[in-house]
Amino acid sequence: MKRLKHLPTVWLLMLAIVLFWWLALSSLVDDSPTVDEQNHLARGAAFVRTGDPRLSLEHPPLVNALSALPLLLLPDVKLPLDDASWQRQPPDVYWYRFAEQFLWVYNHDVTRMIFLGRLPIVFLTLGLALLGYHFAGQIWGKPSRIWAFLFLLFDPNVLANGRYTTTDLGGTAFLFLAAFLLWRMWQAAGWNWRRWLWAALGLGLAFGSKLSMLVFVPIFGLLALLPLYEEKTAETRTCAEQSRSRAQRFGGREIWRRFGQFLSAGLLSIGMVWAIFGFEWGPFLFRGDGLVWLNDWRGPMPTFWAGLEQVLNISSGGRPAFLLGHFSNAGFWNYFPVAFLVKTPLVTLLGLVVTAVLFFSTRMDTDGRGLFPARKRALFLLLPAILYFLFSILSALNIGYRHLLPILPFLYVLISGVASGEWQVAGGKYHVSRLTYDASRFTLPVVLLGLLLADLTIYPHFLSYFNWAAGGPENGHNILIDSNIDWGQDLLRLKAWMDENGVESVKLGWFGTAVPAYYGIQYEPIPGTPLYEFYSLWGGPPFDPAAPEPGIYAISVTSLWELPLPDDQKYVYPWFRAREPDDRIGYSILIYDVP
């Protein structure tokens, strides 16, 4: 009878997984390699085949290596180990050159290589949803599990990045795993060594997947210091035990135990990161004036420390950022607030508002006992999301909503807590209005239906998702560009459009690292980024910008805004920006038929 009782849930999970696989696989096969994928796949392949992490400068090798493992099924794949880039030449861009040689010169099966490299990320996306299922069950109870699972599986931004060979989704999954294992450790009474070791492993996997996850070190440290945990349930503790526990927590004993657990687990996780780097040992590779003297010494994982230095420099100095028609190398303070509002589904924003009202605006009789348990658990999920969001605002690296992905699992598990009902009237301690209660009954189904509707309306162009309040994906390129809408994913679709419409050649302003000629596209290059044949034309475009010659122009929306040029020197594409396109390839390439 017990098994029969769980059958509806099992069938729902299975149907959801089948739908997810269909959405993910049927869409990714038509996406050309995005700008960063060749770099990640080349790093991973080099590490898997040689054990040398020298290319893993900006990103640790864990997720890249997982992506590259299926390439072992292709015995003919070659690494450009005889190219100068393997010897770190030229020193500034050697990993980019290595990737170009790996994908487009030394090998000739790009489509299959990219497909196999994306599969492990799809599995990681499913793993993230299953982790949300388990975490929601642990923190809220069984009714919340299925909601967290479905939300994480069908958020269009998760789906978008959960199909590409990058570290964004993998870093998010391993970071959330670390948060879950820390929560379990802090929930245990006393020092539970097994849970401590698991927490150390989780932290190591998080820090070994993406360097930006190190931002969570102070965030987790703060969570350790806050009284948000219950070692035992109220039903199993006497009043005397509760009094002693409260005295210990607020007196500092339990606080410092938790902080000591986190600090020691964090130190142990460094060894895990070193293992992920293949126990690399060699001379340090610092480039800054303040640290270059250390290069006379040898030590563990020099590539990790050099990469950390580089990421800190990029985060403070930034890269060209675009927001609402303007560019800045220093970033915009409101970049991520705008990105979050325009690319997060409106039903998710609605769910967050309702959840906040339920858990944080509810009147309660505290009886001198401080925060009631449900609110503590809600804070554990909400605080990391808020603090990471604030860190993101301070960063000058404004290149995509994908950098906000780590907050989504926390928010969706928080929203799933509405199903727990712990905020409802219970023994006269918690009080909610009738309107609030009625709203809560519809919140979770509305969020889920809204996510599914968003997926079906944007399919297969998940990366270009913008909510309808922002004008939808058609208006997205006027708000954000780069990996928010145009990451070079529509080159295959451009070729299909040309074939269907009998267009033999286009004037192509390409933004991407994929090579158009590889796909049989006939084109005349006009200014684009970053391939040299396009990038070199910014100083002298091969057409009259004021009165373009007749022809079919296919211009990536990132190129349309003239990404490499400062605001006062954008003279190449203003004629096109002032006009509506005649057609669109996905939402990242605009077609102009100039008579």
DSSP assignment string, 44-81: HHHHHHH---TT-SSS-HHHHHHHHGGGGG-TT----T
Q: How many helices (DSSP H) and strands (DSSP E) are in the chain?
A: 23, 13
Q: Is 335 exposed, middle or buried (0-12, 13-18, 19+ CB in 10 A)?
A: buried
Matching residue, tokens 């290596």: 65
- The whole-number average pLDDT for the span 208-228 is 95
How high is the pLDDT of residue 363?
57
- The whole-number average pLDDT for the span 531-556 is 95
DSSP letters spanning 71-117: GGG-TT----TTSGGGGT-STTTHHHHHHHIIIIIS-S-HHHHHHHH
Which run of H or of E encompasses 542? none
Q: How many CA atoms lie within 13 A of 143 on its CB side?
A: 10
How high is the pLDDT of residue 424?
58
CA 515 to chain CA centroid, nearest Å? 25
Query: What does the pLDDT look like over 244-271, one tens digit per residue?
Result: 455 444 447 889 999 999 999 999 999 9
- The whole-number average pLDDT for the span 480-487 is 96
* Percentage of the chain exceeding pLDDT 70: 90
- The whole-number average pLDDT for the span 365-386 is 77
Contact 399, 482 (CB under 8 A): yes
How high is the pLDDT of residue 17?
96
How high is the pLDDT of residue 232?
47
How high is the pLDDT of residue 31?
97
How high is the pLDDT of residue 250?
45
Report the C-alpha gap between 451 and 244 in whole angstroms.
46
The beta-strand segments (E) located in 139-277 are: none
How high is the pLDDT of residue 547?
95
82-91, 191-200, 408-417: range with lowest mean pLDDT: 82-91
Contact 301, 52 (CB under 8 A): no
Query: What does the pLDDT look like over 267-302, one tens digit per residue?
Result: 999 999 999 999 999 999 888 888 889 888 999 999
Which run of H or of E encompasses 510? none
Q: How many residues does the chain have?
A: 595
How high is the pLDDT of residue 567?
77
Which two structure tokens, joined as six digits, stand for 437?
């209660």
How high is the pLDDT of residue 432?
54
How high is the pLDDT of residue 7?
58
Assign 3-state DSSP to the chain and report helix, strand, coil percentages, each to 5. Answer: 60, 5, 30
Query: What does the pLDDT look like over 144-195, one tens digit per residue?
Result: 999 999 999 999 999 999 999 999 999 999 999 999 999 999 998 888 999 9
Does the pLDDT value for residue 434 go beyond 60?
no
Report the C-alpha gap between 156 and 160 in whole angstroms.
6
Kindly report the average pLDDT of the chain as a whole number.
Answer: 89
Q: Helix or strand or coil: residue 585?
A: strand
Nearest to 513 by CA among 487, 538, 495: 487
How high is the pLDDT of residue 527?
97
Which two structure tokens, joined as six digits, stand for 196?
């401590």
pLDDT category, 344, cuts 50, 70, 90?
A: very high
pLDDT category, 2, cuts 50, 70, 90?
A: very low
How high is the pLDDT of residue 436?
60
How high is the pLDDT of residue 566?
78
Torsions phi, psi of 514, nearest 5? Answer: -70, 145
Torsions phi, psi of 255, nearest 5? Answer: -60, -50
How high is the pLDDT of residue 422?
66
CA 189 to chain CA centroid, nearest Å? 34
- The whole-number average pLDDT for the span 396-419 is 95
- The whole-number average pLDDT for the span 473-497 is 96
73-82, 91-100, 449-458, 544-553: range with lowest mean pLDDT: 91-100
How high is the pLDDT of residue 318?
64
45-54, 120-129, 309-318, 437-446: range with lowest mean pLDDT: 309-318
Does the pLDDT value for residue 405 go beyond 70?
yes
How high is the pLDDT of residue 365?
47
Q: What is the dihedral angle through the alpha carbons of 112, 118, 122, 123, rounded to the nearest 10 degrees?
A: 80
301-310, 370-379, 421-430: range with lowest mean pLDDT: 421-430
* Percentage of the chain exceeding pLDDT 90: 73
Which run of H or of E encompasses 273? helix 253-276
- The whole-number average pLDDT for the span 295-319 is 84
Which carries the bigger pLDDT value, residue 291 or residue 424? 291
- The whole-number average pLDDT for the span 458-478 is 97
Does the pLDDT value for residue 1 go beyond 80?
no
How high is the pLDDT of residue 367?
45
CA 322 to chain CA centroid, nearest Å? 19
How high is the pLDDT of residue 292?
87
Query: What does the pLDDT look like over 19-77, one tens digit per residue?
Result: 999 999 999 999 999 999 999 999 999 999 999 999 998 899 999 999 999 999 999 99
Does the pLDDT value for residue 416 go beyond 60?
yes
How high is the pLDDT of residue 423?
58
